[in-house]
Amino acid sequence: MFYTAELLLLFLCLIIYNLLIATNYKLIKRMKKIKYITAAVLLVTGITVFSSCSKEANKQTGDNKTENNTSLNNQKDKKGKMEHLTAATFKSKVFNYETNKEWKFEGDKPAIIDFYADWCGPCKMVAPVLEELATEYDGKVDIYKVDTEVEQELAAVFGIRSIPSILFIPKDGQPQMSAGAMPKEGFVQAINEILLPSNN
């Protein structure tokens, strides 16, 4: 089992906190700030741990999973709004990283790409939000999905280390990556500020 840096930091904070309480109770009484700082560190660490999944922590392997998910690639979801990308469709619709050294967007409208995995809890929370956005911004923004377990080459090209990772691609300009789950309001704000700034 792999331990992420966040879990190690959480464990270290708990040990320090317990040592301080056990050995220096009077010091803790005088320095309440230590309790508040420790609580804040624990809170931030907990939020970080639960808002994104480490690729190494829950990696599933197996040819069967790859075969099942490959059939989903390059097909529209039932509603016809989100498309699962393979490396080949990514190169033709988003960016051909084999022929271009500089970023050159191949699409005709702004796009959002959700790098996800089926086993990732936060990814499952983001999926319905993206489905709603695909309906609301139909014809204005393309929304794609990339399964990082199946399309490991794409995950490597973009250096995906935690999921979900969301790539916001304006029609002109450089793409911007966001790691971790976001609420719908965060997506709407990013769409309005990064992808469709003239529509505000």
Specify which residues 115 forms β-bridges with. Answer: 146, 165
* Residue located via tokens 């809890």: 121
The span from the CA of 190 to the CA of 108, in Å, is: 19
Supply 179's token pair. 């790691």
Phi, psi of 98 (to 5 degrees): -85, -35
The span from the CA of 127 to the CA of 124, in Å, is: 5
Burial 27-63 (b: 16+ CB within 10 A, else e): eeeeeeebeeeeeebeeebeebbebbbbbeeeeeeee
Phi, psi of 96 (to 5 degrees): -90, 95
Active site positions, annotated: 120, 123
Supply 7's token pair. 């879990």
Supply 154's token pair. 């794409």
Residue 28 near residue 35, CB atoms below 8 Å: yes
